[in-house]
Amino acid sequence: MLFARKVWHLLVAIKDGLVLLFMLLFFAAIYGALTARPSAGLVRDGALLVKLDGVVVEEPSAQDPFGEVLSGDTPMKEYRARDVARAINAAATDSRIKAVVLDLSRFVGGGQVHMLELAKALDAVRAAKKPVYTWALAYTDDSLLLAAHASEVWVDPLGGAFVTGPGGENLYYGPLLEKLKVKAHVFKVGTFKDAVEPYIRDGLSDPSREARTALYASLWDNWKADVAKARPKAQIDLVTRDPVGWLKASGGDAAKAALAAGLVDKIGDRAAFGERVKAVAGEDSADQRPGAFAHVRPAALLAAQGENKSGGAIAVVTVAGEIVDGKAGPGTAGGERIARLIDEANADDAKALVLRVDSPGGSVFASEDIRLAVERFKARGRPVAVSMANLAASGGYWVSTPAQRIFAEPSTITGSIGVFSVVPTFEDTLKQYGVHADGVRTTALSGQPDMIGGLTPEVEQMLQTSVESSYGRFLALVAKSRGRTPQQIDAIGQGRVWDGGTARQNGLVDQFGGLEDAIGWAARQAKLDAWHPAYYGGSANPYASLLERLTGGEDDESGVPAADFAALVAQRQQALVGRVGSDLARLLTLRGVQAQCLDCPVSVPAASRPQRADWLALVRGWLAL
């Protein structure tokens, strides 16, 4: 019996040891998946394959790997514009890279400034006497802009190329809210501040139409000018002036119509395209599928290049997405998080600061947190520059005011110096169903703001006064930054959005240039002979490798399907349905005083810090721009 007991204890000990060993191996595998990085040894002779299965952004959003897996949906991939451009530029000088290949079959798009940044990198490859090839099922404006800078543009026989131009429809809920007896209390300053109009009108106001027409005309002219310069044979006017006649002239075959208009050079499926690239880049010995060619991915090429760490550090902090209170991000500009990053750069004795802004604005308190952090950095006598990407409007311009130099591109959207608030109340709606609000107040502010019982006149006046005060402070900050009077800024403010070219003319922007130009200016102001950018908060997503293993690697499909013209129309209809949900969320979430424009791409933050329920905290949460 004693012997059997000892044997049993031995078996239990072995079992426990094996469980412990397997647990250690499991967690080691998880750690390896999380920390795995591309190896420089993966770079081989061939083509650089840039497969953009998703959207190009300034800063990829934070990801929850377990949430993505449990949802059952394949997430849309996000590509940092700076990383894609760096990889393409590296291909221009790396002797192992024979060509650059862009697979745009599942490309959703990106901002026009980002597209031009990538196009410039493609030009550098061609200047190095290396070919650039693109392939897609269907090209649209963003992918066409990139393709215009390619040596050869291929399209699938079942695809085509379609030019839509900027602009489109917005939804207006004024008559619906009136029918439902929902009161949308609007408080605003700015003749052109049109983001409130969907809740009070049935269409564009005249000032909104004027501003939007001018903005879209400038963006459209910039797009056409770049495509015409890069691809003179492209007949954009033919495609846009009579798109039906253009398509019918080719018997309804969109691929042949694109070829006839000079938008593409070759028609062929993926295998035929691959064979063309293989003739230049060589075959892939590990892949025997038709059209497989030797290639390397951007991440591996960047790993082989390494990072420049010589000279003084120029801190680069990114403000991307809607500006919100708290630590949100990346992909959303949490004011507390970004202010902390700037303070870290300050403590690290960075020689200068470049604030990279790609934001439509948001919370005034978060914007002020960021602005004050920039002021603390500048107070130590070091230069500060702002580099505007696709947009730096409202709060995005607020955080730019401390800069000694503001850089933008002609296609940057900026300005929108104006504020507003929309507070819905439902007292008349509920009365229809026999629901009434009643109670006892000790002051005019007791129980306010009340979405059920309505707002008191005192609260309405206080909110309008707060809006006007925020606008006055905004004018003062911009006036001080631009060396103007508040009255002069008011003349170009009023919530109007400007393209980068016009903003430079009216003094809101100092000069044209990208991020590298801003970094170079800051380094020269700091009197540095050698320097390198130090990106704060811009490290790679620690879950990226794990997500690739759980949801598919680089060669697997993303959540974006390849689409022909009919599918593109369907996708835009789905986006419109999503817009309805976003508009309702903005109306029903008491977010208060805002300074956002309908023309700016606004992303709803994945999470935001809830405000306390007392009156002052709610009003504080409303004060945003």
Residue 546 has a pLDDT of 47
CB-based contacts of 111, cutoff 8 Å, min separation 6: 56, 58, 358, 389, 390, 391, 411, 601
pLDDT at 550: 46
What residue spans define the domains of the chain?
41-163+231-305, 168-218+308-536+589-625
CA distances (Å), 40 to each of 66, 90, 297, 299, in order?
29, 13, 11, 9
pLDDT at 609: 36
**Cβ atoms 593, 420 nearer than 8 A:** yes
Q: Which of 77, 130, 193, 351 is catalytic?
A: 193
Which residue stretches of the chain have pLDDT < 70? 1-13, 15-17, 19, 21-41, 63-75, 538-625
- Predicted local confidence at residue 558, as pLDDT: 53
Strand partners for 363: 624
The per-residue pLDDT for 194 is 82
Q: What is the pLDDT of residues 76-126, one digit of tens each?
A: 889 999 999 999 999 999 999 999 999 999 999 999 999 999 999 999 999
DSSP 156: E
Task: Report the pLDDT value the prediction gives residue 2, as an integer from 0 to 100.
Answer: 60
How does pLDDT run across 370-419, given as a tens digit for each residue?
Answer: 999 999 999 999 999 999 999 999 999 999 999 999 999 999 999 999 88
> In angstroms, rounded to a whole number, what is the distance separating the alpha carbons of residues 215 and 119?
22
User: Which residue's structure tokens are 């530029």?
Assistant: 89
Instruction: Give residue 607's pLDDT.
Output: 35
Q: Which residues of 83-94 are buried (b: 16+ CB within 10 A; e: fewer)?
A: bbbbbbbbbbeb
Query: How far is 497 from 500, CA to CA, in rounded Å?
Result: 10
**Angstrom distances, CA of residue 321 to CA of 114, 299, 396, 398:** 15, 24, 9, 14
pLDDT at position 385: 98
pLDDT in tens, 586-619: 666 655 555 555 556 443 333 333 333 344 444 4
Mean of the per-residue pLDDT values for the chain?
Answer: 84
Q: Is 394 a catalytic residue?
A: yes
Identical fold at 41-163+231-305 and 168-218+308-536+589-625?
Answer: yes
What pLDDT is recorded for position 305? 82
Q: Which residues pair with 175 in a beta bridge?
A: none
Q: Are 558 and 76 in contact (CB under 8 A)?
A: yes
CATH topology of domain 41-163+231-305: 2-enoyl-CoA Hydratase; Chain A, domain 1 (3.90.226)
Half-sphere CA count of 449, side-chain side, radius 13 A? 25
Q: Which of 208, 218, 387, 394 is catalytic?
A: 394
Residue-level pLDDT at 614: 41
Would you tell me which CATH number, out of the four given (3.90.226.10, 3.10.20.30, 3.40.50.620, 3.40.50.800), belongs to the domain 168-218+308-536+589-625? 3.90.226.10
Residue 375's alpha-carbon distances to 167, 346, 520, 532, 606, in angstroms, are 37, 11, 21, 22, 29
pLDDT of residue 577: 57
